[in-house]
Structure 1
Amino acid sequence: MELTGLLKMTRFQTFRIQMRKNKPLDESRKTSQTSGTKIDLHERVDLIACLGGDGVILHASNLFRDAVPPVVSFNLGSLGFLTSHHFEDYSQDLKRVIHGNNTLEGVYITLRMRLRCEIFREGKAVPGKVFDVLNEVVVDRGSNPYLSKIECYEQDRLITKVQGDGVIVATPTGSTAYSTAAGGSMVHPNVPCMLFTPICPHSLSFRPVILPDSARLELKIPVDARSNAWVSFDGKRRQQLLRGDSVRISMSQHPLPTVNKFDQTGDWFRSLIRCLNWNERLDQKAL
């Protein structure tokens, strides 16, 4: 059965995200029956099918500020850590997802935690600077020749100062991305936590830590810092942080649900081995 024929088995409607040329999405604009915005898109979409790599899933996550429909992802990219479905199996996989409740097999869903991030300037929230990230938020020194100096608060308590290239706050989903490359742990996406990973810290004792998902972090550029800093969200939407600016980070109330190929743990370990060659070595020979 072709993909178009399979999709005709249920009712689908396509929406266009209204964008002003060279301007961000105007979320105050009322939507019509043929268009959607981040505000109401979750009320009009029941299922997302992603064709590509991990970047397509990150883009789909960025389209939804509140609740996110289930995502079934087919691997057409070069790595595809999050894309556990093979495109060759799209027919049977989509049928199993759409009609899962009518079979004994059913489907497994992984609720992937997201972070709600908001930029503050002079103690006040900057309008329009609210981001939901699936992988990580990164504050770094950018092209500045000086070390980053970042004050890190949890529930308004100063817990440490980062002096180095920067700091990563990652979700369990993002633990196998930039955070792992910087020396952080790899965490199963079902574990509710935040990963706090320094980037090339100027201290040998500064090791990555894992915080509970109830943590409310604030990364602030102190007024006595030698230079400004930069912040990026899932590797995009990069912008400058001036002295005195901060980013407040907490767990989003709206995770991203992904449809598993087999099960939650098995898919994750298969991705570790397939994409990262995790613990791959020749077997020790018998004596």
Structure 2
Amino acid sequence: MNTNRIGLVIKNDAHAEKKARELKIRLGNQCVIIDIQHSKNKDIPEDLLCMIVLGGDGTFLSAARFIENRGIPLMGVKFGEVGFLAETTEDNLFEAVASLLEGKYLIQKRTRLNIKVVRGNEQIIDVDVLNDAVINKSALSRLASCAVYLDSIYLTTYRADGLIVGTPTGSTAYSLAAGGPVVSPEVPSIILTPICPFTLTNRPLIIPDSTKIEIRLKGSPENIILTLDGQEGFEMDPKDKIFIKKSRDDIKMLSFEEQSYFKVLKTRLKWSGGR
């Protein structure tokens, strides 16, 4: 059995599909296309060296959720607009694959958050996210009311349009747009970012990733949505309790140079010194 097969996850995009065909021709049987929309986790071949994700951050997040706890390294190739999760661009794809097959790569671990929702005595959600969990009110609703407990000790009640609980990886996603800090993935932390808080002294907060978070929605309107990694939404009940902690399962990301995170950051945010 060839233990160097590479899985391909492809964005539904003509350009990405064309690049995938070129890669498939070059690698032949060493390459297997994985349809994450219509397959199940158990269908992933056992002999994968890694999975290459041709697409934007949304495709990468879908792939991360698809592999669950399988520990398969992911390599993002930027085809989307922003692409904080993709270190490699399509121009460097074949060069990166050559380095990959020669074993010239690094593996960086990115923490995930485990999100559980309890309704009454029943656990209705148990999902890991790579970026964030967002509690949002609907457009015309009154403010959400999120009472936050850290390790069972009451912190505060955020009255806001919503609350983002994110990983360092997710710090460059919705949290950044809401005024949250950029946090390096090597900093073991969880970020709490209120969205348009009613109290101006409610600021984004960085806490240790060993902290167990409980959020109670008591006092919130009926139409509150919990969104996981920007992809899956659940209607919440004001009596629901949300429990968030660091997941036991990291995501492994392939990299080809040290400090690549800051190079990607500078480039995507168009800072001076960024290419």
TM-score (norm 1): 0.80
Q: Is the 8 A contact 1:42 1:64 kept in 2?
A: no
Q: Is the 8 A contact 2:133 2:228 kept in 1?
A: yes
Q: Is the 8 A contact 1:117 1:130 kept in 2?
A: yes
Aligned equivalents of 1:110, 1:42: Cα separation in 2: 22
Query: SS at the partner of 1:63?
Result: helix
Aligned equivalents of 2:212, 2:67: Cα separation in 1: 22
Q: Is the 8 A contact 1:42 1:66 kept in 2?
A: no
- Measured against aligned partners, the alpha-carbon deviations of 1:59-88 in whole angstroms (never above 9, x if no partner) come to 101102213311112222222222111222
Relative to structure 1, is the Cα distance of residues 225 and 15 closer, same or farther in structure 2, using a 3 angstrom cutoff?
closer
Query: SS at the partner of 2:69?
Result: coil
Relative to structure 1, is the Cα distance of residues 42 and 258 closer, same or farther in structure 2, using a 3 angstrom cutoff?
farther
Q: Is the 8 A contact 1:221 1:228 kept in 2?
A: no
Aligned equivalents of 1:50, 1:228: Cα separation in 2: 35
Aligned match of 1:77: 80
Stretch of structure 1 that moved more, 252-261 or 38-47: 38-47
Query: SS at the partner of 1:201?
Result: coil
Relative to structure 1, is the Cα distance of residues 123 and 157 closer, same or farther in structure 2, using a 3 angstrom cutoff?
farther
- Measured against aligned partners, the alpha-carbon deviations of 1:101-147 in whole angstroms (never above 9, x if no partner) come to xxxxx312211111111111014311xx2221111100011234311
Aligned match of 1:95: 98
1:135 has 2:138 as partner: no
Structure 1 residue runs of 5 or longer lacking an equivalent are 20-35, 101-105, 282-287
Aligned equivalents of 2:199, 2:188: Cα separation in 1: 28
- Measured against aligned partners, the alpha-carbon deviations of 1:232-263 in whole angstroms (never above 9, x if no partner) come to 00112111111111221111111111111322
Compute the RMSD of aligned alpha carbons.
2.3
Identical counterparts, % of pairs: 30
In structure 2, give the amino acid aligned to 1:113: T
1:60 has 2:58 as partner: no
Which of 102, 120, 130 is the matching residue for 1:122?
Answer: 120
Aligned equivalents of 1:17, 1:196: Cα separation in 2: 30
Relative to structure 1, is the Cα distance of residues 42 and 113 closer, same or farther in structure 2, using a 3 angstrom cutoff?
farther
Question: Could you tell me how far 1:227 is from its partner in structure 2?
Answer: 3.5
Aligned equivalents of 1:17, 1:86: Cα separation in 2: 22
Which of 174, 199, 205 is the matching residue for 2:170?
Answer: 174
TM-score (norm 2): 0.83
Which of 211, 216, 222 is the matching residue for 1:220?
Answer: 216
Aligned match of 1:25: none
Query: SS at the partner of 1:47?
Result: strand
In structure 1, give the amino acid aligned to 2:220: A
Structure 2 residue runs of 5 or longer lacking an equivalent are 1-21
Query: SS at the partner of 1:225?
Result: coil
Aligned match of 2:27: 7
Q: How many residues align?
A: 253
Question: Could you tell me how far 1:15 is from its partner in structure 2?
Answer: 5.3
Which of 232, 236, 239 is the matching residue for 1:241?
Answer: 236
In structure 2, give the amino acid aligned to 1:236: Q
Aligned equivalents of 2:136, 2:37: Cα separation in 1: 32
Aligned equivalents of 2:69, 2:256: Cα separation in 1: 25
Aligned match of 1:260: 255
Larger Rg: 1
Aligned equivalents of 1:276, 1:18: Cα separation in 2: 31
Question: Could you tell me how far 1:217 is from its partner in structure 2?
Answer: 0.9
In structure 1, give the amino acid aligned to 2:52: A
Query: SS at the partner of 1:204?
Result: coil
Relative to structure 1, is the Cα distance of residues 124 and 194 closer, same or farther in structure 2, using a 3 angstrom cutoff?
same
Aligned equivalents of 1:182, 1:176: Cα separation in 2: 10
Aligned equivalents of 1:217, 1:39: Cα separation in 2: 31
